[in-house]
Amino acid sequence: MLATVLVAIVAAIHLYILVLEMFLWDTKTGRKAFNLSAEFARDTRVLAANQGLYNGFLAAGLCWGLWLGESGVPVTLFFLICVLIAGVFGAVTASRKILIVQALPALLALIALLMR
């Protein structure tokens, strides 16, 4: 039960990131979330939308794993590991905040899933 809740939270986080990156990137909300200047946000809007799409795929994979139930555990593990790797990479290359926002929730969900 805890693993399911944590995986759902990770999926929700990535759906939120999808919305921020694909639709709100160059708005006040998106610029504030990522600490961007209006000029930078405008110039990188297409790149951000692409990132958002990938975050959406991560969320879809996690939801798919949850939907499959017990037989979806390998799918869920795969996508949690993808999120964890992306979070660590993002923390190293972009912002340490990503470690807390993305990698830590994925790690907690991964641990809970493995310990059930």
| Percent of the chain whose predicted confidence (pLDDT) is above 70 | 100
Segment 90-99, tens digit of pLDDT: 999 999 999 9
Encoded tokens for 73? 């555990």
Complete DSSP assignment for 93-108: HT-THHIIIIIHHHHH
Q: What is the pLDDT of residue 69?
A: 96
Alpha carbons 98 and 29: distance in angstroms, whole number: 18
**pLDDT digit string, tens, across residues 8-39:** 999 999 999 999 999 999 999 999 999 999 99
pLDDT at 61: 98
pLDDT at 109: 98
Domain residue limits, the chain: 2-115
Average pLDDT, the chain: 97
Predicted confidence at residue 58, as pLDDT, reads 98
Q: What is the pLDDT of residues 48-62, one digit of tens each?
A: 999 999 999 999 999
